[in-house]
Amino acid sequence: MHSSLRQKACLACSVSKRGCDKQLPECQRCLDRHLDCVYPQSKRRYRDSTLEDDALENNQVHHFPSSHEFLDLNPLGGRFDHEPWGVISAPNLVPVVPDVMFPFIQTPSSTCRNAQSTQSLTHEKASPPDTSAPWFLQGDTWDTGRVAKDTDCVVDVELELKSFIQSVTEMLQSWVKNGHNSFIHRRLYEKGLPTCLQDAFTTLTTYNGRNSAIEEVVLQIALDRLAALTRQGPPTGSGAECILAHLARVQSLFIYEFIMLFDGSVRVRASAEKQLPLLRQWLFQMWEVVKEYRGEEGPSSLDQLAETELDREYNACVEQWRLWILTESVRRTYVVVECITNVFEVMTRGWASCDGAPMITARSGLWEAESALEWSELSCSKSPILVTSLRPLPIMSQYEAEEVDDLVKEVWAVIVGSDKIQYWNTRKSRGK
Residue ranges of domains in the chain: 11-57, 67-430
Tell me the C-alpha to C-alpha distance, in Å, between residue 383 and each of 269, 362, 363, 398.
Answer: 42, 9, 7, 12
* pLDDT score of 255: 98
Report the percentage of the chain scoring pLDDT > 90.
Answer: 44
Give bridge partners of residue 359 from the DSSP assignment: 388
Q: Tell me the helices (H) and strands (E) count for the chain, helix number first.
A: 15, 2
| Cβ-Cβ contacts under 8 Å for 224 (sequence gap 6 or more) | none
Which helix (H) or strand (E) is 153 found in, with range?
none
Q: Which CATH number does the domain 11-57 belong to among 4.10.240.10, 1.20.140.10, 2.40.37.10, 1.10.287.3510? A: 4.10.240.10
* pLDDT score of 298: 55
> 114-128, 152-166, 303-317 — which is least confidently predicted?
114-128
Report the percentage of the chain scoring pLDDT > 70.
Answer: 69
* pLDDT score of 292: 83
**CA dist., res. 75 & res. 173, Å (int):** 10
393: Cα within 13 Å, side-chain hemisphere: 12
| Phi, psi values for residue 335, rounded to 5° | -60, -50
Over 60: is that where the pLDDT of 343 sits? yes
Higher pLDDT, 106 or 351: 351
> 124-128, 150-154, 199-203 — which is least confidently predicted?
124-128
* pLDDT score of 198: 97
**Span 372-389, mean pLDDT?**
92
Give 187-237 pLDDT, tens digit per residue: 999 999 999 999 999 999 999 999 999 999 999 999 999 999 999 999 988
Over 90: is that where the pLDDT of 430 sits? no
pLDDT tier, 143 (very low <50, low <70, confident <90, very high otherwise): confident
The alpha carbon torsion through 10, 14, 15, 18 (nearest 10 deg) reads 110
Listed residue (426, 321, 386) closest to 138, CA to CA = 386
Higher pLDDT, 240 or 312: 240
Mean per-residue pLDDT of the chain: 76
CB 96, CB 59: distance < 8 Å? yes
Listed residue (96, 98, 3, 14) closest to 43, CA to CA = 3
Give 15-53 pLDDT, tens digit per residue: 666 788 888 888 888 887 777 788 776 544 434 444 344
**Span 178-184, mean pLDDT?**
96
Listed residue (367, 268, 354) closest to 326, CA to CA = 367
Give bridge partners of residue 360 from the DSSP assignment: 387
Over 70: is that where the pLDDT of 403 sits? yes
Kindly report the pTM of this predicted structure.
0.71
Q: Is 199 helix (H, G, I), strand (E, B) or coil?
A: helix
**CA dist., res. 50 & res. 57, Å (int):** 10
**CA dist., res. 24 & res. 403, Å (int):** 45
| For the ranges 62-66, 144-148, 153-157, the one whose mean pLDDT is highest | 144-148
**CA dist., res. 228 & res. 55, Å (int):** 40
* pLDDT score of 144: 79
| Phi, psi values for residue 361, rounded to 5° | -80, 115
* pLDDT score of 6: 58
pLDDT tier, 315 (very low <50, low <70, confident <90, very high otherwise): confident
